[in-house]
Amino acid sequence: MKLFISPGACSLAPHIALRETGATFDAVKVDLATRKVETGDDFLTVNPSGKVPALTLDSGETLTENPAILLYIADQKPEAGLAPRDGTMDRYRLLSRLSFLGSEFHKAFVPLFTPGTSDEAKAAATTAVKNHLTAVDKDLAGKEHYVGADFSVADIYLFVMLGWPAHVGIDMSAYPALGAYCGRIAQRPAVGAALQAEGLI
C-alpha cells in the first residue's frame, strides 16, 4: 500500500492508523502547492482533487477521504480493535464522529490555513473552531475515548485535528478535557512513530 501524505495534515490520521495495525505501507510525501509527489510525479493522477490523504491499495485501487480510509484500515485488521463491529450502535456512533470530523470540524479550519483569507472570515472561522472545541471538550469530560469504551480511529482523527488550533493562535488551555485526552493519545507508540516519521517531533 501507498499512503500519500503531507506532514501534519489530516493524512497523519491514516498514517497513525496503519502503524497501529502493523500494516506494511509506504508513506509518500506530497507537495500540496505544486501537487507533486517526492519523485516529481503528478499527484493529480492519484487523486484528481489534489488532496491528501489518498491510499493506493496493492490492487491498484485508490481510496480517498479520511472516514473511508480510516474504516478500511480498521476493517483490514479487526483484531487491532480500531473500529466497533458492524451492526453495533458504537459502529454507527463511530460513523457519526468520523463524518463530523471530516466535514464540519475540518472545514472550520480551512479559512485559517488559507492565504489571503480576510480578517472577517478568519474571525468567523476562529469562532466556529472554538465552538466545536467547546462541544468536544464537554463531550470528552470524564471519558477516555471519543466513541465508546475503546480506542478507535475516531480518537486518531480527533487527536490529529486537535494539534491544529495551536498553529492558528487558539489557546487550548481553555479546554482541559481535550488537553488531558491529547496527552494520553500522544503516549501511544504508533502515534509517536508517525509523528517522528513526518518530522513533527
How large is the average pLDDT for residues 86-115?
A: 96
Q: What is the pTM of this model?
A: 0.95
Q: Which domains does the chain have, with CATH numbers?
A: 2-80+191-198 (3.40.30.10), 89-188 (1.20.1050.10)
Find the DSSP H helices in 3-105. 12-21, 66-76, 89-100
Note the pLDDT of residue 147: 95
- Written as one letter, the residue type at 119 is D
Q: What are phi and psi of 106, to 5 degrees?
A: -65, -45
Confidence of residue 201 (pLDDT cuts 50, 70, 90): confident
Confidence of residue 80 (pLDDT cuts 50, 70, 90): very high
Say what percent of the chain tops pLDDT 70: 100
Note the pLDDT of residue 132: 98
Average pLDDT over the chain reads 96
How large is the average pLDDT for residues 150-170?
A: 96
| Alpha-carbon span 99 to 158, nearest angstrom | 11
Would you say 80 and 100 are in contact if contact means Cβ atoms under 8 Å apart?
A: no
| Alpha-carbon span 123 to 71, nearest angstrom | 34
DSSP conformational letter for 10 = T
Q: Is 170 exposed, middle or buried (0-12, 13-18, 19+ CB in 10 A)?
A: middle
Would you say 76 and 48 are in contact if contact means Cβ atoms under 8 Å apart?
A: no
**How many distinct helices (H) and strands (E) make up the chain?**
8, 5
**Residue appearing with cell numbers 501507498:** 2
What digits encode the pLDDT tens for the residues 5-64?
999 999 999 999 999 999 999 999 999 999 999 989 999 999 999 999 999 999 999 999
